[in-house]
A and B are shown apart, each in its own frame.
Chain A
Amino acid sequence: MSGAAAWAGALQALGLFAADPLGLGGIAVRAGAGPVRDRWLKILYDSLPPGMPVRRVPLNAGDDRLLGGLDLAATLQAGHLVEQKGLLSEADGGVIVLPMAERIEPGSAARLRAASDEGQVTLQRDGLSRVLPAHIAMVALDEGADPDEHVPTSLLDRMAFLIDLTKVSLRDIEYDDWSGVAAPSRPLVLAGPSAMTGGAGAVHRATAAVETAKIIETLCGVAMSLGVDSIRAPLFALRAARIAAAQDGRSEPDTDDLSLAVALVYGPRATRLPPQEEAEAPPEPEPPPEDQPEPPPPDDEDQEQIPDLPLEDIVLEAAIAALPPDLLAQLASLSNTKGQVRMPGRVGQAKMSLKRGRPIGTRQGEPKGGARLHLLETLKAAAPWQTLRRRAPEHGPKRFEVRRDDFRIIRFRQRVGTTTVFAVDASGSAAMNRLGEAKGAVELLLADCYVRRDQVALIAFRGTGAQLLLAPTGSLLRAKRSLAGLPGGGPTPLAAGIDAAMALADTIRRSGRTPIITFLTDARANMTREGTGGRPKAEAEAMESARALRATGIAALLVDTSPRPNPFARTLATEMGARYVPLPYANAAALSHAVRAAAA
């Protein structure tokens, strides 16, 4: 899609959104900060109904600011509870703007989601119990740079439109409906469909209105064909079509309205091309605009009733025309990463802590075990109770009394470290194939772990099973020692080794750290889990374990210690979704780099 077309589409979405922000939930704008986005926002603000509240919500605003809470100063002065509204309830009936929305944390996203779903904020804070209205629409400004970086999907699911302005240049927005900065309050009245629905929009036709049941069927059918899984998407499309109809002065949506709605709502969410389309002309979204003018006219010219298939087809084509041309490539990259980033698989996932990290708030608790007292919050917590305490018989001559209940301690969000699990093949074949060198490689990695303050754990497998030599530890000296004392010899129980490493990694993950498994093996599996020999069965079992490991999404690295790269080792690495590094080619720097890469 060209920049100009993207801009046109963005303005169409804007026009619909501004007409009914609350009904459409929101709009996500992917664009870097800059004049294009500024202009788009300016048009949006000018187009919103006059007087509609707009609040900018800073990234990860605290609960007291977001949800509201007690206004302590006012409360103490007034002698009765005075609440302070949060941004969400301040924005009731209007729009909240979320800058840097790609960085919203799950907790904040959940609070926004709740307000968006319920149309209210349930406040249970600081002695206040309130339900405040908060009907809001969200405008998420997504500055994500790479595809992995995006607004939390749960928020996107609650917004009708997702628009992408990254390819729009300044030239593109020198658009004829952009006449000046002082835009009128309603600068965007869209005269029917335009660029998005192809050439069809040029001719303004009076198509027959479509009955609701048929619309719903069509919208659901098209969603299915395009692989739009969300059940909210058809609802948004329905709403968008109705708004488009209303803007054109129709009471019910017609084919054009539906096409527009589908293009805007489903286009960015499509995960597949409709089957038949894929077979005929795989990547090309070009044909539809040309075909389109032909099929529709007969329909609406010679009858009121629109037959089943055509309506769905017309609407579908509109959506296909709006698909990003690189959809297929995107889909491919999506499925690649799917198994890996499912769960907390990344390095340094955030964890709450009372000791270190970035302060994110306070909670009641005692300053012991390393927790730090937040003096100001403690005093604030104590303030409202002073009247009461002064009356207590045990009250001394103190002027301000702080009790244990008032203590507030600081909560931190900590980047949690990584634990590298080394699973070392100590079998006879590996021993022959330079177990010593493998050990050397591990030592290099250990040094690297030390620099990164990582923990390490060590598992060895040989003979009939795997053995945990060293539980996760920060002591690299111990790791080195247990590694040095590792004897070699016996068959290779590869499956058992993978299983043991996986079980350990899973435990590590549950404790909040991020595990990475590094296998050092020649992958010459010849011992089954039951402890019987036999290469074919042992290899099959190893593959099975490898697949299980992939399913867990734990990052892994396989260092092939064979004298010559072993094809089975490579296959195994692919099966477990691991990076493959043949040792013969690996020098210390390359290995260290590979581990780091696996961790990223």
Chain B
Amino acid sequence: MSTRPVFPFAAIVGQEDMKLAILVAAIDPGIGGVLAFGDRGTGKSTTIRALAALLPAMKVNQGCRYHCDPATPDVWCADCRAATKHKSVTAPVPVVDLPLGATEDRVVGALDLERALTGHKVFEPGLLARANRGFLYIDEVNLLEDHLVDLLLDVAASGENVVEREGLSVRHPARFVLIGSGNPEEGELRPQLIDRFGLSVEVRTPQDLPTRIEVIRRRDGFENDPVGFTEHWKKQQDKIRKRIVDARGKLSGVAVPEIALENAARLCMALGTDGLRGELTLIRAARAVACLDGDKEVTDAHLRRVAPMVLGHRLRRNPLDEAVASTRVNRAVEELFGA
């Protein structure tokens, strides 16, 4: 990443769904990625790029190319296992871009070409390695080439990347939160890939005048004086960061009462979503929101907030219902919990 100033997350106007989804994924990475689909110029990329500056730093084994976590030796890479001494240092959480046009060798990693020219065999980790324990961002995910999509699906499912090249066999952890954004008008996403995303949000251009004015005003302020603008928002930014840290700490302490489990199940049944993943993700996302709000247990209010982003992309297509997915979810939510 360059040192170019990034528009602060805290200063992003509106887009509450998307911001919430990203915070939820940051609090509980196990939820499995965020898909942001929507209009042009709605700040999808801005929001995601703002994430890197927001995330609290993490602890890593010094020098590890996969940022192994000192606290979880059972999922260390081979290098960390082999090493006798470990020193724990803090490092920023990686938010890695997977650009269109990337070749496979750079995604999964390959032999270091530079060294190979002089006859040495050294593994050069790819983007998947870089994204371990962080976020992998694919802008225009619907335009990604099929063979790369297949690769990603495989790794995302196993949490591990295996590379066999030139008689070299490398296996390293690759657990990352997949974040995709795109414009559905330019091509649909394969159902298998959609399924990998725990949360999906539809992003729209704000339609009310005051919001639009505020968007332009802040954008203009940022462009005129990026440093001053970032400084101005630092406090807000720190506040959100603290909320993430606090929420992570509470994650295991928040209770999920029987009634919440039951309501989640009933909601999924009412919408006819396939499989148990929806239900599980619904509960986990609701729990993350409860942590974010500082609540002690998961309530219907939490479920209601996350239901559209968890279930919207898991609905079976109903050809008779023209309504957009989120409307259908909201309708079901209202039937279940009352308006």
Task: Known contacts A157-B40, A231-B216, A234-B216; decide if A128 and B117 are in contact (CB<8 Å).
Answer: no
Query: Does the CB pair A364–B40 fall under 8 Å?
Result: no
Q: Mark A375-389, 1 if CB is under 8 A from B, else 0.
A: 000000000110111
Cβ-closest chain B residue relative to A23 = B223
Q: Mark A384-400, 1 if CB is under 8 A from B, else 0.
A: 11011111100000000
B210 to chain A, nearest CB (A): 9
Query: Does the CB pair A230–B217 fall under 8 Å?
Result: no
A549 CA / B318 CA spacing, docked (Å)? 11
Query: Does the CB pair B220–A235 fall under 8 Å?
Result: yes
**Which residues of chain A come closer than 8 Å to B212, judged between CB atoms?**
220, 223-224, 231, 234
Query: Does the CB pair A230–B40 fall under 8 Å?
Result: yes
Contact of B40 (CB < 8 Å), options: A111, A153, A510, A549: A153
A381 to chain B, nearest CB (A): 9
Q: Mark B191-225, 1 if CB is under 8 A from A, else 0.
A: 10000000000000110010011011101100000
The interface stretch among B22-30, B181-189, B245-253, B302-310 is B181-189
Contact of B165 (CB < 8 Å), options: A63, A117, A343, A405: A405
**Which residues of chain A come closer than 8 Å to B206, judged between CB atoms?**
231
B150 to chain A, nearest CB (A): 11
Quick one: which of A116-148 are within 8 Å of B by CB?
Answer: 117, 119-129, 131
Of the four ranges (under 10, 10 to 19, 20 to 34, 35 or more), the interface on chain A belongs to 35 or more
Query: Does the CB pair B99–A363 fall under 8 Å?
Result: no
The interface stretch among A74-82, A195-203, A255-263, A266-274 is A74-82
**Which residues of chain B come closer than 8 Å to A79, judged between CB atoms?**
117-118
A229 CA / B319 CA spacing, docked (Å)? 29
The interface stretch among B85-93, B138-146, B230-238 is B138-146
Task: Known contacts A223-B212, A231-B212; decide if A364 and B143 are in contact (CB<8 Å).
Answer: no
Query: Does the CB pair B320–A548 fall under 8 Å?
Result: yes
B114 CB-CB contact with A under 8 Å: yes
B96 to chain A, nearest CB (A): 10
Query: Does the CB pair A384–B102 fall under 8 Å?
Result: no
A365 CA / B104 CA spacing, docked (Å)? 10
Query: Does the CB pair A352–B114 fall under 8 Å?
Result: no
A131 CA / B99 CA spacing, docked (Å)? 11
B213 to chain A, nearest CB (A): 5
**Which residues of chain B come closer than 8 Å to A66, judged between CB atoms?**
101
Contact of A107 (CB < 8 Å), options: B39, B100, B317: B100
Quick one: which of A167-187 are within 8 Å of B by CB?
Answer: none
**Which residues of chain B come closer than 8 Å to A224, judged between CB atoms?**
209, 212
Cβ-closest chain A residue relative to B164 = A405
A235 CA / B221 CA spacing, docked (Å)? 11
B292 CB-CB contact with A under 8 Å: no
B169 CB-CB contact with A under 8 Å: no
**Which residues of chain A come closer than 8 Å to B187, judged between CB atoms?**
106, 344
Contact of A384 (CB < 8 Å), options: B116, B121, B215: B116
A55 CB-CB contact with B under 8 Å: no
Task: Known contacts A231-B41, A234-B216; decide if A502 and B102 are in contact (CB<8 Å).
Answer: no
Known contacts A342-B185, A547-B322, A548-B320; 9 further A-B pairs (Cβ under 8 A): A81-B113, A113-B140, A121-B99, A124-B98, A152-B186, A235-B216, A405-B166, A503-B319, A510-B188
- Mark A residues whose CB is within 8 Å of B: 63, 66-67, 70, 75-76, 79-81, 106-107, 109-111, 113-114, 117, 119-129, 131, 152-154, 157, 212-213, 216-217, 219-221, 223-224, 229-232, 234-235, 238, 342-344, 352, 363-365, 384-385, 387-392, 403, 405, 499, 502-503, 506, 510, 544-545, 547-549, 551-552
